[in-house]
Structure 1
Amino acid sequence: MLLILKGIPCLYYGEEIGMLNIKFNDRSEFRDVDIKNGFQGLVDDNPVYSEDEFIKYLNINSRDAGRGLMQW
Structure 2
Amino acid sequence: MRPSSQSPSTEVVLRILFDRERCQGHAMCAFAGPDAYPLDDSGHNELPPDSPVDPGLADQARQGALQCPERAITITDA
Same structural fold, with TM-score higher than 0.5 when normalized by the shorter chain: no
Q: Which structure has the bigger radius of gyration?
A: 1
Higher-strand-fraction structure:
2
TM-score (structure 2 length as normaliser): 0.30
Which structure is higher in RCO with an 8 Å CA cutoff and minimum separation 6?
Answer: 2
TM-score (structure 1 length as normaliser): 0.31
Higher-helix-fraction structure:
1
